[in-house]
Amino acid sequence: MEQNFLAIDLGATSGRTILGTFTDEGLKMEDINRFPNHLIEVVGHYYWDIFQLYHNIIEGLKIAAQRNIPISSIGIDTWGVDFVCFGKDGNMMRQPYSYRDPYTVGAPERYFSNLSSKEVYGKTGIQVMNFNSLFQLDTMRHTNDSALESANKILFMPDALSYLLTGKMVTEYTIASTSQLINAKTRHFDLNILNSIGLAENNFGRFVFPGEKIGELSVEVQKMTGLGAIPVIAVAGHDTASAVAAVPTVSQNFAYLSSGTWSLMGIEADSPVITGETEKLNFTNEGGVEGTIRLLKNICGMWLLESCRAKWANATYDDLIAAAQQSETFRSLINPDDPCFANPVDMEQAICEYCKKTSQLVPETIGQIVRCIFESLALRYRQVLDNLKSLSTRPIEVLHVIGGGSRNDMLNQFTANAIGMPVIAGPSEATAMGNVMIQAIAAGKAADIAGGRRLIRSSVSLKNYQPQDTAIWNEAYTYFKNIIS
């Protein structure tokens, strides 16, 4: 018997409502509606337009109702760290700040004068990034932010949207784990860290884990959409956690690469990996499904190419790949995570300046730029994977590439060449599939994550890449390490 689930998947630039039809034979996915997610710049701050997101979610639910699709449940996943403040009457205090807002520049240094970075990392296992929720909240406290001063509850983005649908306030574990407020060992809020920013557990919603029921669509939402009292399930609210849940693996001996604007490379661990080495390497321990920890590293991904493409208005993606294929191998390389590539005015110029500064040949054509980006990313992936091998208690035998980047044949082959092990690419819709799978487990349609992964593996086309030219890539890796050092 078929069962239908709605996955609401929101990224930092766009969102969508997806219908997942779960059967014993496989999982079918269909877009219901897609919509942009725009930042709003007002009086020196950047905000997310949560009301517009809510409006588009309601539109997706209306479409499902109009098609008479029987929906078993709904789940929401979003990007991490950002949150919404609500007053005692349950109303939103204002639109939420975006992590892209520069108001937290310098915030970690100020906060660590209170609790040391070593102490905070030892508790949370979370890498230091100035936009983490901890530093956003500490900055709001120091600036006497009126929304925080008036807040009774603080809800992370997927939880805030679930509240608008159900009237129930929760804090889902995987999204909360990105905040640097969660103790990685206890899997709950760290009270000392909360106290350091003047907050307590009761400032947040009921703590839940993936698969728990949040509530049902409110009477108001039922009237607006034409749907009934459908359950809303707490999926893995952090989009990367949902994506990793959908890795189509048949073994525990794997690493994953969630490939998109950002690349997130990591492994699943049974418990937090918090050592001096992980702190030095800036690895992060985020919550996963079924009690797992996602030990991972953030790597600058296709942001490099997309920023260049904004300048190459007439170049199609196929044209860029063809030009790269015709270009010389390893002519010039960059460190994709160098700060100069974070948000330059001109990415192409930034790449050229980096090559000049490191005494390399400066790229002269679009093809050379694209090849430089792809080869550098592949070699950076090897560097991070080598670190993961030393940190993992299990051997790593294969790399699963999921997300939009799983469709990039050239980069996937380069990655296999660089790491010297097989790469399995797909699914590109991993986040939505993971979202649906957790709902299906909650509904009793699937037994567990392992079973769901096997079902996903049988439902999608996967592409395998075997290492080629390993000796040449090994030489290039030595050259790469010398350049970035």
Residues tagged active-site:
239
Distance between CA 480 and CA 60 in Å, rounded?
A: 47
User: Token pair for residue 208?
Assistant: 């839940």
Question: 336-340, long-range: CB within 8 Å, 24+ apart, which pairs?
Answer: 336/299, 336/300, 336/301, 336/304, 336/373, 336/376, 336/377, 336/380, 337/299, 337/300, 337/380, 338/484
Distance between CA 62 and CA 54 in Å, rounded?
A: 12
- Decide if 19 contacts 63 (C-beta within 8 A): no
Q: What does the angle CA 298 – CA 205 – CA 120 come to, to the nearest 5 degrees?
A: 40
Backbone angles phi, psi at 472, to 5 degrees: -65, -40
Picking from 383, 384, 339, 382, the residue whose alpha carbon sits closest to that of residue 357 is 339
Distance between CA 416 and CA 185 in Å, rounded?
A: 34
Q: What does the angle CA 464 – CA 467 – CA 472 come to, to the nearest 5 degrees?
A: 155
DSSP state of 205: P
Inter-axis angle of helices 50-66 and 157-166, nearest 10: 50
> For the residues of 333-385, what is the DSSP string, one character each?
---TT-GGGSS-S-HHHHHHHHHHHTT-PPP-SHHHHHHHHHHHHHHHHHHHH
Backbone angles phi, psi at 113, to 5 degrees: -75, -15
Distance between CA 416 and CA 420 in Å, rounded?
A: 6
Distance between CA 139 and CA 464 in Å, rounded?
A: 46
Backbone angles phi, psi at 44, to 5 degrees: 80, 5
Q: What is the dihedral of CA 118, 380, 178, 262, to 10 degrees?
A: 150
**CB-based burial label for 57 (10 Å; 0-12, 13-18, 19+):** buried
- Decide if 126 contacts 274 (C-beta within 8 A): no
Q: What three-state secondary structure class fits 197?
A: coil
CB within 8 A of 163, min separation 6: which ones? 86, 155, 169, 170, 205
Distance between CA 238 and CA 157 in Å, rounded?
A: 9
